[in-house]
């Protein structure tokens, strides 16, 4: 961590602990410089970060103040949600639709704030890319995709010690398409697919849609996937594929250690079962290094690694990829049969940005923002939510997972929160069996603000609501 990040973190701790009261004046830049023996730019940057984290407010000419404590969020005039029993897709869509409503506090959203991305720089690269592609690329850039982009992606693999020729990379319409194509490439209707529990709902939707069966493997909120449970399941069931998220897992935020990733790859190799590895949050690591994905340990081409620029660079551009090991050709053909290719000028635009746009600088900034936002979220959870509420402390990404001590009905909480202008992602959407009624996923991918703090406080109120206390 740099000097100014350390300084900002220590000041953030002071604020969060209450030692610096809300509304009180923060030390001036000059005082900070003197007290901490730092340069002027270090002090200024630290305050910039604290502002970004929503912990201080700058008043023109008079300095910085500790941000006010929040007020509960008022109802946004929403109607009461549905109460009928629903399948997993219905649950998911009701949550996603709610998150789209303008003005909602998007704690249930799956997207980070679009304001964190270099959109105008990207637009420049996109224009550049579109002008520079050969007209004939509409024929030759069919799957696997734009050569320059695939080379740039291969270079990023190289940074984390994975040698992956550009030829192996298939560009897709975001990671979700890559994951879906990988799943289609290795399964037939009726097959069993192992997924995480709780796990990413899109995996469950894909399994439902393709007529497959899901076998849920428990995820420990500290250590991640339960490998013993997986080993037992592999002995007992003819599992045809696994779909796991090894870094900053959605919804828990937990990461498998390198040793566990290696053990996972060995276990699957023993059973000759392919792993669809969803690694879309990997670049959003707070520690200095990217935690190598399971693919780094694969020697048999069994790991199908899927990544994306949607979470860390260009949301809405819809560019992801699969490096699908021995299944590469099958995935490429499925791509050609379903959507032909990712948008060619967009591929060229992203390639241009990766070469010239300052990707590393951008990543550093967004990681730092999310790291601070995580701490602000955790602090708000501690401040407002009932004692005994457990939360994860992700080392990357922008989701954390709450488990309440008292039994609650997370679906009821979701519905009531929507009426108050807040979305949350209720536990049951992360499991085919609609388990995790006692859990919610919170998104901290938005710059911290009193409004978000107030939303957490409102959730605390709603937890006492009779509909939430009495499970349906």
**Residues forming the site for a copy of itself (CB under 8 A):** 89, 93, 96, 99-100, 102, 106, 109, 111, 114-115, 117, 119-120, 122-124, 126-127, 130-131, 133, 135-142, 172-174, 176-177, 180, 184, 189, 202, 205-206, 209, 211, 315-319, 333-334, 336-346, 349
Q: Which is nearer to a copy of itself, 74 or 100 (CB)?
A: 100
Query: How far is the C-alpha of 432 from the C-alpha of 245, rounded, in Å?
Result: 17
Q: Which is nearer to a copy of itself, 144 or 274 (CB)?
A: 144
- Please name which of 462, 468, 461, 456 lies closest in space to residue 377, comparing C-alpha atoms: 456
Q: Which is nearer to a copy of itself, 164 or 187 (CB)?
A: 187
Q: Which is nearer to a copy of itself, 133 or 154 (CB)?
A: 133
Q: Which is nearer to a copy of itself, 206 or 264 (CB)?
A: 206
Cβ–Cβ < 8 Å for 122, 357: yes
The CA-CA-CA angle for residues 129, 133, 139, to 5°, reads 135
**Residue 25 DSSP code:** B
Residue 439: strand pairing partners: 403
Q: Which is nearer to a copy of itself, 16 or 335 (CB)?
A: 335
* Nearest distance from C-beta of residue 62 to a copy of itself, angstroms: 31
Q: Which is nearer to a copy of itself, 100 or 364 (CB)?
A: 100
* Nearest distance from C-beta of residue 339 to a copy of itself, angstroms: 4
* Nearest distance from C-beta of residue 74 to a copy of itself, angstroms: 22
Tokens describing residue 407: 């039994």
Q: Which is nearer to a copy of itself, 115 or 259 (CB)?
A: 115
* Nearest distance from C-beta of residue 138 to a copy of itself, angstroms: 3
Q: List Cβ neighbours of 348 (8 Å cut-off, separation of 6 or more).
A: 129, 130, 132, 133, 137, 146, 148, 149
Query: How far is the C-alpha of 96 from the C-alpha of 251, rounded, in Å?
Result: 14
* Nearest distance from C-beta of residue 385 to a copy of itself, angstroms: 26
* Nearest distance from C-beta of residue 334 to a copy of itself, angstroms: 7
211-227 in b/e form (b: 16+ CB < 10 A) is ebbbbbbebebeebbbb
* Nearest distance from C-beta of residue 180 to a copy of itself, angstroms: 5
Residue 66: strand pairing partners: 56
Residue 400: strand pairing partners: 442
Q: Which is nearer to a copy of itself, 206 or 385 (CB)?
A: 206
* Nearest distance from C-beta of residue 121 to a copy of itself, angstroms: 10
- Please name which of 333, 327, 328, 322 lies closest in space to residue 278, comparing C-alpha atoms: 322
Query: How far is the C-alpha of 448 from the C-alpha of 55, rounded, in Å?
Result: 8
* Nearest distance from C-beta of residue 99 to a copy of itself, angstroms: 8
Q: CB atoms < 10 A from the CB of 87, how many? A: 12
Q: Which is nearer to a copy of itself, 100 or 405 (CB)?
A: 100
- Please name which of 54, 8, 26 lies closest in space to residue 379, comparing C-alpha atoms: 54
Q: Which is nearer to a copy of itself, 174 or 292 (CB)?
A: 174
Phi, psi of 64 (to 5 degrees): -110, 145
* Nearest distance from C-beta of residue 429 to a copy of itself, angstroms: 13
Q: CB atoms < 10 A from the CB of 72, how many? A: 16
Specify the residue for token string 């049951």.
428
* Nearest distance from C-beta of residue 456 to a copy of itself, angstroms: 21
Distance, first Cα to last Cα, the chain = 47
Quote the crossing angle between the two packed helices 174-186 and 328-338, to the nearest 10°.
Answer: 120
Tokens describing residue 316: 């809405």
């Amino acid at each position: 961590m740099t000097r100014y990040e350390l300084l900002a973190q220590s000041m953030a701790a002071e604020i969060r602990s209450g030692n610096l009261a809300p509304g009180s004046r923060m030390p001036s830049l000059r005082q900070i410089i003197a007290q901490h023996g730092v340069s002027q730019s270090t002090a200024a940057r630290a305050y910039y970060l604290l502002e970004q984290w929503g912990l201080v407010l700058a008043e023109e000419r008079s300095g910085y103040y500790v941000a006010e404590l929040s007020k509960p969020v008022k109802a946004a005039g929403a109607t009461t949600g549905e109460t009928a029993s629903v399948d997993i897709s219905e649950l998911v869509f009701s949550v996603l639709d709610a998150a789209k409503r303008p003005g909602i506090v998007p704690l249930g959203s799956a997207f980070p704030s679009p304001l964190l991305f270099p959109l105008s720089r990207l637009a420049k690269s996109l224009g550049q890319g579109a002008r520079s592609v050969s007209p004939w690329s509409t024929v030759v850039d069919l799957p696997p995709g734009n050569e320059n982009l695939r080379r740039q992606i291969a270079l990023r693999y190289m940074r984390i010690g994975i040698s992956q020729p550009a030829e192996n990379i298939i560009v897709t319409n975001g990671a979700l398409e890559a994951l879906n194509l990988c799943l289609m490439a290795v399964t037939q209707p009726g097959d069993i697919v192992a997924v995480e529990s709780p796990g990413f709902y899109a995996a469950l939707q894909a399994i439902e849609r393709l007529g497959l069966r899901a076998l849920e493997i428990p995820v420990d909120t500290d250590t991640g996937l339960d490998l013993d449970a997986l080993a037992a399941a592999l002995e007992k069931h003819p599992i045809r594929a696994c779909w796991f998220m090894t870094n900053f897992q959605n919804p828990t935020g937990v990461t498998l250690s390198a040793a566990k990733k290696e053990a996972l790859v060995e276990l699957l190799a023993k059973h000759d079962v392919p792993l669809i590895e969803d690694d879309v949050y990997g670049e959003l690591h707070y520690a200095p290094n990217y935690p190598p994905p399971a693919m780094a340990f694969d020697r048999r081409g069994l790991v199908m690694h899927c990544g994306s620029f949607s979470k860390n660079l260009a949301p809405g551009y819809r560019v992801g990829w699969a490096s699908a090991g021995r299944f590469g050709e099958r995935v490429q053909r499925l791509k050609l049969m379903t959507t032909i290719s990712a948008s060619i000028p967009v591929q060229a635009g992203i390639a241009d940005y990766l070469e010239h746009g300052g990707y590393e600088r951008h990543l550093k900034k967004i990681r730092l923002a999310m790291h601070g936002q995580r701490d602000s979220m955790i602090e708000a959870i501690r401040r407002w939510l009932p004692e005994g509420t457990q939360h994860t402390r992700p080392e990357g990404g922008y989701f954390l997972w709450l488990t309440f001590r008292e039994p609650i009905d997370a679906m009821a909480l979701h519905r009531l929160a929507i009426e108050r202008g807040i979305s949350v992602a209720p536990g049951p959407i992360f499991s085919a069996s609609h388990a995790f009624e006692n859990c919610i996923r919170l998104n901290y991918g938005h710059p911290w603000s009193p409004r978000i703090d107030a939303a957490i406080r409102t959730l605390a109120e709603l937890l006492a609501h009779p509909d939430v206390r009495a499970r349906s």
